A = this chain, B = another copy of it.
Amino acid sequence: MVGANIVSSERPRRLRLGMVGGGNDAFIGAVHRTAARIDDHFTLLAGALSSTPSRSRESGEALGLDRVYDDYKQMAIREARLKAGVEVVAIVTPNDSHYPIAREFLRRGIHVICDKPLTSTLDDANKLLKTVNNNKAIFVLSHNYTCYPLIRQAREMVTSGYLGQIRVVQVEYVQDWLTEVVNNKQAEWRTDPMRSGEGGAIGDIGTHAYNLVRFVTGLKVEQVSADLQAFVVGRLLDDNAHVMLRFEDGVRGMLWASQVAPGNENGLRLRVYGDKGGIEWAQEEPNLMWYTPYGCSTRKITRNCAETLEAANRLSRIPPGHPEGYLEGFANLYSEAAAAIRAFDRGEKVPLSVTYPTVQDGLDGMRFISACVKSSRGNSRWVKID
């Protein structure tokens, strides 16, 4: 076995973590918990795991939590008073509750790791931004895909000029699980405007794609022209979204988000082209990236190989050929959060190498959703993202 550079999971003290949402049958809650464990920076101690108190208690017991609360407000108040209360809370509830929940913790100096998209309304998003700015705590948004090592590699390559002047960006996030009417809990709130907000696929997964593009290229999207559809009869939010993008500096792009494309499981795929080269990456095979210097053969860059850069390698645990996946990518988000929180708590600046999606990124995503919906309602006219 080749020498490895597993992310050093050994740290002086684990951060005390709480969780709001994520009760027994929730998907993303369990993902957050696993991600928090992988690199051993956190101990989950307390939670308000469901808005139904009995379910919260049941779930908390099952998880062996020290302290289980009936509601998040109570939790924020009490934890803040405890000497060894939680230092950071993961919010894994539907979008419409992100802002009120985050507010309670942030104003008490408890750091927040919040599920995406930021909120269900632009108004809430703006308020949350202010709340973060007015309080002394770290806020991390779970755009987990930015934490895949090869996405860091892509970003570093763009920044360092490997692709030359960027010209064209193609991004898509394609699933098929809403091809028909679905009645489970996951589907229910994600297709409900009251809880999800005005975006369906464009909000749930389109913002991931948008965020990924922004993260990798560093380019601002100035305008969007969107055509959103709800194909399934009775669905109130879009389940398929076509968007043309105009970036700063004349860069052009397309974004496709869909939850009704049979054969696609979790098809987030990014392609970036400049005048000196192109790259291609897909989430379902996250351990490799295709890189073509213009005029040369395409290179298969594998995670943690001899040709990857430090920005990618620092988030890599094991040697190439030993696949890391979605949970490790998500764990990287938690490890970045831990690094940021620790620096913050020491009164230091977050190291430059540490990067995580911020409330500003979340607001940017909300503006993107809003602009897309506006454009689509305006017969796809170009709408500025301000």
Q: Which chain A residues have a beta carbon within 8 Å of chain B's beta carbons?
A: 1-4, 6, 9-13, 27-28, 30-31, 33-34, 37-40, 62-64, 163, 167-168, 170, 172, 175-177, 179-180, 184-187, 190, 204, 225, 227, 229, 231, 240, 242, 244, 246, 250, 252-254, 256, 258, 260-267, 271, 273-280, 283-287, 290-302, 305-307, 317-328, 379-382
Assess the A273–B302 pair: CB atoms within 8 A: no
Contact with A34, one of B6, B204, B302, B380 (Cβ below 8 angstroms): B6
In the bound complex, how far is the Cα of B204 from the Cα of A370, in angstroms?
36
Task: Report B-chain residues with C-beta under 8 Å of the C-beta of A30.
Answer: 4, 6, 9, 317
> Given the known A-B contacts A33-B9, A37-B38, A324-B327, are A319 and B265 also in contact in the complex, defined by CB atoms under 8 Å?
yes
| A175-B284 Cα distance, complex, nearest whole Å | 23
Of the candidates B13, B262, B319, which one forms a contact with A276 in the assembled complex, judged by CB atoms under 8 Å apart?
A: B262
**Which residue of chain B is the closest to A308 with respect to CB atoms?**
B297
Question: Complex: how many Å from CA A54 to CA B266?
Answer: 48
B contact residues around A63 at 8 Å (CB): 10
Residue of B nearest to A289 (CB): B297
Contacts of A168 in B (CB 8 A): 231, 240, 258, 260-261
Residues of B within 8 Å of A240, CB to CB, are: 167-168, 252
CA distance A325 to B6 in the complex (A): 14
Which residue on chain B has the smallest CB distance to residue A256?
A: B254
Contact A34 B38 (CB under 8 A): yes
**Shortest 5 CB-CB contacts between residues of A and residues of B:** A265-B321, A266-B321, A263-B292, A323-B325, A325-B325
